């Protein structure tokens, strides 16, 4: 959709959510051969496996299928829609496929790989291309790195003609195909910047029999920091694929990631929040979440943070770890007390406070009649909460 | 001596009339930082009251640096305008003094804005950018000192340990750990948790190695990218002072952004395990728990004959 709008050649295709729509799409495309593609926000779909979400039985190998007739479209669409697709990128739990893309076939002369991404090492936009299209690029990078060609774009100049030619020639392109490739790179780089992408991956990129370069499949990710200048992103978002609590946390200015353990964590600062999880694990426990309340959280945010942690039925205890900088420990202490009262907290709670106004904060907690266990440092806090929930089980 | 920022450095505040800028400017003055004024386009000529004293505001960084001969600036400008604030400061420092330190605290700057800003700063070799998305830099003094950022000043004391970290609160944790074994800090640098930033680990390690006041270093990394691995390999060849390290995110799941924009394990790369291993290979003493940084540091100091 974005690629087409940016002027990158793509195959004709139709987005569908039902088998009926898929069959109509086959008719309207007028191509005998079509690809039936699962649309989820993860790669490796072609080599994935489709499971029945209830019985966990294998329905079909491959989340992207080539159909040579309307009957085959019917079979593949029925097998995929509403079922679970597990790929190397989804993890074992997989993702339910609610969307399909039916795409017209094309005459493929060769498949390539092309990606644009922000590279941390060069602090620039990097363009990577390979003749090994359709393959898992990480494997190519590991075993045959010489087959991956790169150019680094100077942010204040943009992509230059020789860079496009060098990259195209490295792929063995010439004539009309080289020209088509160069035009495509310009369009993609413009789109990459205009849309604040983090990565655009075209795999495969194909050269047709007529020497035209066409993007067959694409994966685009965006830079979340740039959301404020892209109102259109809301339309691209498939909310059903995101954790509901993670979205709600974000709306209240909290950063939350759900994990599989049973000790909830409430921490200020991303690094300290990760370290808190690590130390819980080090002392035999399992963290239930990552939660960063940020640098300037107020009482209300602390309360929201608690309610989000407690929504996870696995949570058997909570560790609060605050190193007050901008945030004052007395404010956190009051927030913790208000939240535990309002939510009538049933699980054990360990609170470790340090930094600005720590003595006032500790005094407030000590004066409360609530069952709050204080800790002086992170190790003590982690050991206490692990012991209180009865060890690491 | 310390690194990059001396105790008596003259500091400007960009975004000084905003809520965040004013709040932290006040805290910096309270700590003893020599704040010389601020910059907010459109509000030149006004003054801002910090700790009972009036400080001047300029329209532009060119005016502000010309008038004050500032050594450094700290940016509290909101994300949509922060990259331009960095470039304005870089241009002014470069053309007026040929040098200067820019500390950008702002979190949430679009990555492609930073790609441009970093390239712009790198074209001005006398100018150093620290951050963005970081707590800043602090050089504690015998009394007061230069606190440029948002860290709680009162937890620091002047000493001989240099600290470099991607994380804010984890840096405070490291500071508290040095204090727990009666050691102070030469300079603490928060380099920030964004994928594209200014000063990196290696530049900090090189500066600490060359700084006579610094006798040992604490380096704190986190998952994502390979800056820690590269820094460790560089340190093995180039740093003679003892280094103690910690990496956050051993329990972070792959593919999930852990708060910081750059803290993500992608394609199985950038894990904490990988980074700890690189640290060990380089002879860096690792703490597996940040509450043990003090203990590990003390051991390293003893081994080096510094205690």
Across the interface, do A269 and B256 touch by the CB < 8 Å criterion? Answer: no
**Is-contact A317 A338, C-beta < 8 A?**
no
Across the interface, do A123 and B267 touch by the CB < 8 Å criterion? Answer: no
Across the interface, do A278 and B150 touch by the CB < 8 Å criterion? Answer: no
Annotated catalytic residue: which of A112, A113, A189, A283?
A113
Whole-model pTM: value is 0.89
Split at pLDDT 50, 70, 90, the class of A98 is very high
**Is-contact A352 A378, C-beta < 8 A?**
yes
What backbone phi and psi angles, to 5 degrees, belong to A147? -90, 0
Place of tokens 């006004």: B46
**How long is chain A?**
393
Distance CA B79, CA B85 (A): 10
Q: Which helix (H) or strand (E) holds A357?
A: none
Whether A156 contacts chain B with CB within 8 A? yes
Q: Which helix (H) or strand (E) holds A7?
A: none
Which of A225-239, B38-52, B265-279 shows the lowest per-residue confidence on average (mean pLDDT)? A225-239
Across the interface, do B112 and A196 touch by the CB < 8 Å criterion? Answer: yes
Distance CA B256, CA A353 (A): 27
Query: What ipTM describes this predicted complex?
Result: 0.91
**How long is chain B?**
307
Q: What's the distance, Cα to Cα, between the start and end of chain B in Å?
A: 21
3-state DSSP call for residue A214? strand
Distance CA A374, CA A268 (A): 17
CA distances for A248 relative to A79, A97, A258, A319, angstroms? 33, 23, 12, 21
Q: What is the pLDDT of residue A238?
A: 65
Chain A: give the shortest CA distance to residue B172, in Å.
7
Distance CA B94, CA B76 (A): 21
Range 258-297 of A in CB contact (< 8 A) with B: 259, 267-275, 277-282, 287, 290, 292, 295
* Mutant choice from B80, B165, B251, B276 vs A, greatest count of A C-beta within 10 A: B251
A263: alpha, beta or left? (left if phi > 0; alpha if psi -120 to 50)? beta
3-state DSSP call for residue A241? helix
The pLDDT tens digits of the residues spanning A324-333 come to 877 889 888 9
Q: Which of B152, B251, B258 is facing A355, going by the closest CB pair?
A: B152
Q: What is the pLDDT of residue A393?
A: 43
Segments of chain A assigned E as strands: 13-16, 34-38, 49-51, 58-61, 64-67, 84-86, 95-96, 100-104, 108-119, 124-130, 148-153, 197-208, 213-215, 218-222, 255-258, 263-267, 289-292, 317-324, 349-355, 372-375
Q: Which of B111, B226, B263 is facing A223, going by the closest CB pair?
A: B111
Whether A193 contacts chain B with CB within 8 A? yes
Structure tokens at A210: 């007529």
**Is-contact A126 A163, C-beta < 8 A?**
no
Q: What's the distance, Cα to Cα, between the start and end of chain A in Å?
A: 48
Q: What is the pLDDT of residue A373?
A: 94
Residue B144 or residue A393, greater confidence: B144
Average pLDDT, chain B: 96
Neighbours of A291 (CB within 10 A): 27
Range 107-146 of A in CB contact (< 8 A) with B: 118, 120-121, 123-125, 138
For chain A, percent of residues with pLDDT exceeding 90: 66
CA distances for B183 relative to A98, B159, B179, B214, angstroms? 59, 6, 5, 11
Closest CA to A281 of B229, B248, B172: B248
The pLDDT tens digits of the residues spanning B39-59 come to 999 999 999 999 999 999 999
How does DSSP assign chain B, residue by residue? Answer: --SSS-TT-EEEEETTTSHHHHHHHHHHHHHT-EEEEEE-TT-TT-EEEETTEEEEEESSHHHHHHHH--SEEEE---HHHHHHHHHHHHHHHHHHTS-EEEEE--S---HHHHHHHHHHHHTSTTEEEE-SSS-EEEEE-SSSEEEEESS-GGG--EEEEEEEES-SHHHHHHHHHHHHTT--EEEEEE--SSSS-SS-HHHHHHHHHH-TT--EEEEEEESSSSHHHHHHHHHHHH--S-EEEEEE-TTPPTT---SSTT---BTTBS-HHHHHHHHHHTTPEE-SSGGGHHHHHHHHHHHTT--
Split at pLDDT 50, 70, 90, the class of A93 is confident
The pLDDT tens digits of the residues spanning B103-153 come to 999 999 999 999 999 999 999 999 999 999 999 999 999 988 999 999 999
Q: Which of A154, A224, A325 is facing B169, going by the closest CB pair?
A: A325
Residue A275: its chain B contacts at CB < 8 A?
Answer: 167, 170, 173, 246, 248, 290
Chain B: give the shortest CA distance to residue A231, in Å.
15
Residue A288: its chain B contacts at CB < 8 A?
Answer: none
Across the interface, do A278 and B289 touch by the CB < 8 Å criterion? Answer: yes
**Is-contact A83 A75, C-beta < 8 A?**
no
> What is the rounded average pLDDT of the residues B76-96?
98
Across the interface, do B291 and A279 touch by the CB < 8 Å criterion? Answer: yes
DSSP assignment letter at A10: B
Q: Which residues, including other chains, have CB under 8 Å from residue A359's CB and lie 6 or more apart?
A: none
Among all residues of chain B, which has the CA nearest to that of A193?
B112
Range 68-107 of A in CB contact (< 8 A) with B: 89, 91
Structure tokens at A365: 């907690």
DSSP assignment letter at A252: T
3-state DSSP call for residue A254? coil
Structure tokens at B41: 């386009």
Residue B98 or residue A90, greater confidence: B98
**Is-contact B3 B161, C-beta < 8 A?**
no
* Mutant choice from A241, A275, A386 vs B, greatest count of B C-beta within 10 A: A275
Active site residue B260: yes
Across the interface, do B258 and A226 touch by the CB < 8 Å criterion? Answer: no
Check whether B241 has a pLDDT greater than 70: yes
> What is the rounded average pLDDT of the residues B216-236?
96
Compute the Cα dihedral for B72, B74, B77, B82 and give only its sign: positive
Whether A393 contacts chain B with CB within 8 A? no
Closest CA to B173 of A355, A122, A191: A355
Annotated catalytic residue: which of A103, A132, A195, A201?
A201
Range 293-332 of A in CB contact (< 8 A) with B: 295, 323-326
Closest CA to A162 of A200, A152, A116, A126: A152
Does a cis peptide bond (omega within 30 degrees of 0) precede residue A380? Answer: no
Q: Which residues, including other chains, have CB under 8 Å from residue A305's CB and lie 6 or more apart?
A: A249, A254, A256, A266, A291, A293, A297, A339
Across the interface, do B111 and A354 touch by the CB < 8 Å criterion? Answer: no
Cα-to-chain-centroid distance, residue A217: 18
Q: Which residues, including other chains, have CB under 8 Å from residue B254's CB and lie 6 or more apart?
A: B265, B266, B268, B271
Q: Which of A224, A287, A380 is facing B251, going by the closest CB pair?
A: A287
Place of tokens 């017209």: A104
Q: What is the pLDDT of residue A241?
A: 59
> What is the rounded average pLDDT of the residues A73-87?
94
Across the interface, do B173 and A272 touch by the CB < 8 Å criterion? Answer: yes
CA distances for B103 relative to A391, B25, B192, B198, angstroms? 44, 13, 10, 9
Distance CA A361, CA A142 (A): 52
């Amino acid at each position: 959709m974005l690629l087409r709008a940016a002027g990158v050649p793509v195959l004709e295709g139709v987005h569908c959510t039902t088998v009926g729509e898929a069959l109509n799409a086959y008719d309207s495309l007028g191509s005998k051969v079509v690809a039936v593609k699962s649309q989820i926000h993860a790669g490796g779909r072609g080599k994935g496996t489709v499971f029945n979400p209830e019985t966990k039985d294998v329905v079909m190998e491959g989340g992207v299928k080539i159909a040579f007739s309307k009957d085959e479209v019917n079979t593949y669409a029925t097998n995929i829609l509403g079922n679970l697709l597990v790929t190397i990128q989804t993890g074992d739990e997989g993702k339910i496929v609610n969307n399909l893309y039916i795409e017209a076939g094309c005459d493929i002369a060769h498949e390539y790989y092309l990606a644009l991404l922000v590279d941390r090492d060069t602090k620039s936009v990097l363009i990577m291309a390979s003749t090994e299209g359709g393959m898992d690029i990480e494997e190519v990078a590991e075993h045959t790195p010489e087959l991956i060609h790169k150019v680094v774009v100077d942010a204040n100049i943009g992509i230059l003609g020789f860079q496009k030619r060098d990259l195209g020639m490295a792929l063995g392109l010439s004539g009309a195909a080289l020209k088509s490739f160069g035009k495509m790179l310009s369009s993609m780089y413009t789109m990459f910047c205009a849309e604040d992408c983090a990565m655009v991956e075209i795999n495969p990129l194909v050269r047709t029999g007529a020497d035209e370069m066409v993007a067959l499949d694409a994966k685009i990710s965006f830079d979340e920091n740039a959301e404020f200048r892209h109102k259109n992103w809301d339309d691209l978002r498939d909310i059903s694929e995101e954790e509901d609590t993670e979205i709600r946390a974000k709306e209240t200015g909290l950063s939350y990631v759900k994990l599989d353990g049973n000790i909830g964590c409430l921490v200020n600062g991303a690094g300290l929040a990760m370290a808190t999880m690590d130390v819980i694990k080090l002392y035999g426990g399992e963290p239930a979440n990552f939660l960063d309340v940020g640098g300037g959280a107020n009482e209300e945010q602390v309360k929201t943070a608690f309610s989000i942690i407690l929504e996870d039925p696995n949570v058997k205890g909570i560790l609060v770890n605050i190193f007050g900088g901008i945030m004052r420990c007395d404010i956190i202490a009051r927030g913790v007390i208000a939240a535990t009262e309002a939510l009538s907290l049933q699980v054990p709670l360990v609170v470790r406070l340090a930094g600005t106004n720590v003595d006032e904060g500790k005094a407030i907690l000590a004066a409360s009649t609530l069952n709050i266990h204080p800790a002086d440092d992170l190790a003590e806090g982690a050991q206490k909460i692990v012991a209180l929930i009865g060890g690491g089980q | 001596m310390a690194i990059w920022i001396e105790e008596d450095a003259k500091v400007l505040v960009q975004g000084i009339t905003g809520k965040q800028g004013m709040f932290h400017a006040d805290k910096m003055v309270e700590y003893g930082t020599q704040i010389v004024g601020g910059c907010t386009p459109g509000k030149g000529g006004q003054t801002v009251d910090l700790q009972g004293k009036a400080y001047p505001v300029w329209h532009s960084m060119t005016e502000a640096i010309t008038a004050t001969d500032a050594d450094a600036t700290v940016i509290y400008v909101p994300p949509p305008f922060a990259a331009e604030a960095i470039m304005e400061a870089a241009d002014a420092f470069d053309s007026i003094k040929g040098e200067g330190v820019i500390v950008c605290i702002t979190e949430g700057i679009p990555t492609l804005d930073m790609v441009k800003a970093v390239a712009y700063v790198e074209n001005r070799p006398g100018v150093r950018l620290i951050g963005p998305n970081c707590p800043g830099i602090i050089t504690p003094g015998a009394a007061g000192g230069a606190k440029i950022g948002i860290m709680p000043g009162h937890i620091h004391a002047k000493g001989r340990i240099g600290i470099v970290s991607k994380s804010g609160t984890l840096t405070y944790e490291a500071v508290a750990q040095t204090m727990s074994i009666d050691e102070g800090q030469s300079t603490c640098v928060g380099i920030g948790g964004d994928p594209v930033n200014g000063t990196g680990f290696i530049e900090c390690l090189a500066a600490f190695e060359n700084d006579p006041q610094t006798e040992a270093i604490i380096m704190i990394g986190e998952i994502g990218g390979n800056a820690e691995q590269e820094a460790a390999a560089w340190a093995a060849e180039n740093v003679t002072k003892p280094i103690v390290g910690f990496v956050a995110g051993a329990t972070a799941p792959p593919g999930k952004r852990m708060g910081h924009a750059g803290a993500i394990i992608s394609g199985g790369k950038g894990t904490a395990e990988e980074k700890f291993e690189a640290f060990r290979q380089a002879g860096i003493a690792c703490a597996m728990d940040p509450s043990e940084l003090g203990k590990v540091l003390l051991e390293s100091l003893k081994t080096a004959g510094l205690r």
